A and B are shown apart, each in its own frame.
Chain A
Amino acid sequence: MTAQLTTGTAACPGCLAAPAEPARPMSEDVQIALSLPGIHCSACIATVERELNACPGVEDARVNLTLKRAMIKAAAGVRAADLIPVLGQAGFEAHELDTGALSATQTDKAGRDLLMRLAVAGFASMNVMLLSVSVWSGATDATRDMFHWISAAIALPAIAFSAQPFFINAWSALRVRRLNMDVPIVLAILLALATSLWETALSGAHAYFDAALTLTFFLLAGRYLDYRTRAAARSAAEELTALEVPRAIRVIDGREHEVAVGSLAVGDHVLVRPGGRMPVDGQIISGQSELDRSLLTGETVPVFAETGQTVSAGEVNLTGPLTIRATAVGTDTSLHRMADLVAVAESGRSRYTSLADKAAKLYAPGVHILSALSFVGWYIYSGDMRTALNIAAAVLIITCPCALGLAVPAVTTAASGRLFRKGMLIKHATALERLAEVDTVVFDKTGTLTEGTPELVNLKDQTPSDLAIALALADGSSHPLSVSLARAARDAGVRPATISNLVEVPGFGTEATFDGQRVRLGRAAWVGAEGGSGTSAWLATGDGAPTGFHFADSLRPGAAAAVEAFHRAGKTVVLLSGDTQGAVEELAGKLGIRDWVAEALPQEKAGKIRALTEQGRRVLMVGDGLNDTAALAAAHVSISPATALDAARVASDIVLLGNDLAPIAEACKTAEKATRRIRENFRIATIYNVIAVPLAVAGLATPLIAALAMSTSSITVSLNALRLR
């Protein structure tokens, strides 16, 4: 540990270049956030903090090990790009996070608020419970009255503070003349407090202060669990978004400025380097390259790009630098116009009612009617307002949905935690319930079932000399096909041939001299070959016809396993792709998918999903591209991999963090199990009610019985939920 602690301070070229300002106003400080996926121990914390603090301009750096993140306060000139190499030299992988996208996780006000209310309710309920235990074990007369008064003094302010979330929810439901789960809760708490106060004033024997507080405590615990699960998913989803820092290079009078994408305006000249993504819609004004449009259309063959051609935001530039003039920015880009499609599709999903809401719809009116009936019945029978009100309060407290309030959050927390460890992020509250109902699975092809990276398929058909030349040429380019070709050839033990004058011609390929002859590797038309339908690179060596190197998209790990698991579970699997007929047919054959559609436009994808839904199917959509967004939103439930575009991840309910697809099939099983547990929990809660309610209606329920019924049912329900692990 000491050895690691004393690693020498790294020389940091970027930091040294940054101007050191001796005195600067605080407001010019910048916040930089770095994601550090590799840190895991106290030595890592110390090293990272020391390295960062040693950089000129850095005022304060603090590592958060739980979030695996470093927050840095630095002078205005310092950029994350200066700090990342420093950490790289110290052996830590670092990625910049967009601080704007992170802001919500930092001040987690709502969660803290709920925790505080939970603490107050817990403190108060324990104190009141102690006082109540002495009353139940036989305190009488003045002692009992005093204990009741003390309980009242604790319970009233405590409930006024901690039960506020319920009051607010119930009020907002009542205002629009609707009933939700919070209405019976609030009614039970208020009625219990009122009758107990009245009883205490008349020095009666039964007071329900402890019940009202325990109720609040258990229900708040359920709310807090629910909140935590969703906050964890939200912060992880936010981190994914923050990893894509929206920056672009604006060219003004030949000089390059790095600016935020949001500040680009129509008419700006933007430079996009090879490997970069188009930040705006525009027209190419200089440069030549190839574009990868797979995220937008699903097609895997790169498209040639030259001056005058229009490009859309989201396309990836492959070989040469391009300068584009922006024609549409921000929300006007084609990327954002998809949002309209998504909004239309989403209106269908909001109709889903969760299991908890269904239970509440049955439960809330039932409880009120039962309580009102017992009040009326006892009032007619005994003619005593006090007895009747007491019994009505007892019925409300005993039937109060303590266990119901815990039944769903406890199970979803357990299930989400389990799925998170397998690399799935549940973003939406009811996603698990919807996932459990799925009977049809629709996959996108490019980037979902396949990795979106090409793989050489006809290595064995090539002559060794061709391979040697091709390898030498491929080494001169960072085009995905070249990279893949070079890797495949090296793996087969091929040594590169000696070539000279190697040049890359952006948009076409690479060219060199071999044995005095010109050799070329690149697009079919450029080397003089007849282009085929698939993805290919062609090699012309001067003598003989050019030879083709054909590529196929490699399967994502676990894709075959996931499709097979769905088939075995009796679910229909559909392949829906924007790619060409041939490519889709081949992949469908390889995976044994009988139902497939090729060359589907985004609207057609969403339309197909809607058609399936109208047939009564529950569709799970798995997709990553922009062309899938509408389909993702239209489906009953949707999953997108972490590599997907931001828009696709926003539209989907679940994000798959790892590269492996296999967890999807398991997630369906976990979801089914979770839904079964939720139903079991509802049943357990009902059984408790069936036993306790007749006692309450008969007027036999004491505060002791109420407390016992409430605690045991809550604990059984939580334990049943934990069985999911």
Chain B
Amino acid sequence: MEVLAYLIPISLFLGGVGLVAFIYTVRSNQYDDPEGDSRRILSDEWDDRPKP
């Protein structure tokens, strides 16, 4: 059962990474325009150079 000493912190850490990533996406307005973003990625306009 010693393996629990590693597994529980690891699983909690990985879950926490997911939570932090989600909070980051909420805070940086990534859910403001879901429809537009799903289409923007198909545009090849800024493929060669980044948008100024």
Contact = CB atoms under 8 A, between A and B. Distances in A.
A115 B26 CA distance: 8
A206 B26 CA distance: 36
Given A42-B39, A42-B42, A123-B15, A150 B33 contact: no
Interface in B1-52: 1, 4, 8, 11-12, 15-16, 18-19, 22-23, 26-27, 32-36, 39-40, 42-43, 45
B23 to A, nearest CB: 6
A440 to B, nearest CB: 41
A106 to B, nearest CB: 9
Contacts of B8: 150
Contacts of A41: 39
A528 B16 CA distance: 86
B39 A64 contact: no
A465 interface: no
Interface string A129-150: 0100000000000010010001
B37 to A, nearest CB: 8
A683 interface: no
Q: Is the interface of B mostly helix, strand, loop or mixed?
A: helix
A130 B4 CA distance: 13
Interface in A146-181: 146, 150, 154
Contact of A66 (B1, B26, B27, B33): B33
Given A45-B39, A112-B26, A66 B19 contact: no
A48 to B, nearest CB: 11
A27 to B, nearest CB: 23
Q: Which of A42, A67, A126 has the most CB of B within 10 A?
A: A42
Contacts of B4: 143, 146
Contact of A45 (B11, B12, B19, B40): B40
Contact of B43 (A45, A112, A115): A45
A63 B36 contact: yes
A120 interface: yes
A119 B36 contact: no
Contacts of B34: 66
A127 interface: yes
B6 to A, nearest CB: 14
Contacts of A116: 23, 26
Interface of B: 1, 4, 8, 11-12, 15-16, 18-19, 22-23, 26-27, 32-36, 39-40, 42-43, 45
29 contacts: A5-B45, A42-B42, A42-B43, A45-B39, A45-B40, A45-B43, A46-B45, A64-B32, A65-B33, A65-B35, A65-B36, A66-B32, A66-B33, A66-B34, A112-B27, A115-B26, A116-B23, A119-B19, A119-B22, A119-B23, A119-B26, A123-B16, A123-B18, A127-B11, A127-B15, A130-B11, A143-B4, A146-B4, A154-B12
